[in-house]
Chains A and B, each alone.
Chain A
Amino acid sequence: MHKMNIKGTRKTAIFLLTVALLVMYVTGRNFLAMRQPDVVIPADGFEKRMLSDWFQGIHNTPADTPVFIQEGQEPGGTVLILGGTHPNEPAGYIAAVLFLERAQVQKGRLIVIPFANNTAFTHNSPQEGYPQYIRFLLPDGSVRTFRYGSRDTNPVYQWPDPDIYVHEPSGQRLAGSEMRNLNRAYPGQPHGVITQRIAFAILELIRKEDIDLAFDLHEASPEYPVVNAIVAHEKSLELGAMAAMDLEGRGIPFRLEPSPRNLRGLSHREWGDHTDVMAILMETGNPIQGRLRGRTNEALALTGKDKFYQKAAKLGSLFIPYEDDQPIALRTARHVTAIMTFLEMLGFISEEKSVIVNNIPDYNDIIDKGIEAFLLSIS
Chain B
Amino acid sequence: MIMLIYRGIALFISLVVVHCMFQEEEFWKQASATMVIIPLVMRVLLIK
Contacts and interface: CB of A to CB of B under 8 A. Distances in A.
A–B contact via C-beta, under 8 angstroms: yes
A379 interface: no
A23 B38 contact: yes
Q: Which applies to chain A's interface (DSSP): helix, strand, loop or mixed?
A: helix
A23 B25 CA distance: 23
Interface residues of B, number: 25
Given A10-B22, A123-B48, A160-B6, A28 B42 contact: yes
A21 B42 CA distance: 10
A20 B37 contact: yes
Contacts of B31: 16
A16 to B, nearest CB: 5
Interface string A3-17: 011111010110011
A41 interface: no
Contacts of A39: none
A159 B43 contact: yes
**Chain A interface residue bracket vs B:** 20 to 34
A13 B38 contact: no
A12 B29 CA distance: 11
A280 to B, nearest CB: 35
B22 A156 contact: no
B41 A8 contact: no
A31 interface: yes
Interface string B18-48: 1001101111111101100110011101111
Interface of A: 4-8, 10, 12-13, 16-17, 19-20, 23-24, 27-28, 31-32, 123, 155-156, 158-160
Given A155-B43, A159-B43, 8 more contacts: A8-B26, A12-B27, A17-B34, A20-B41, A27-B42, A28-B48, A31-B42, A31-B48
12 contacts: A8-B29, A13-B22, A16-B21, A16-B31, A16-B34, A17-B37, A24-B42, A24-B47, A27-B42, A28-B48, A159-B3, A159-B6
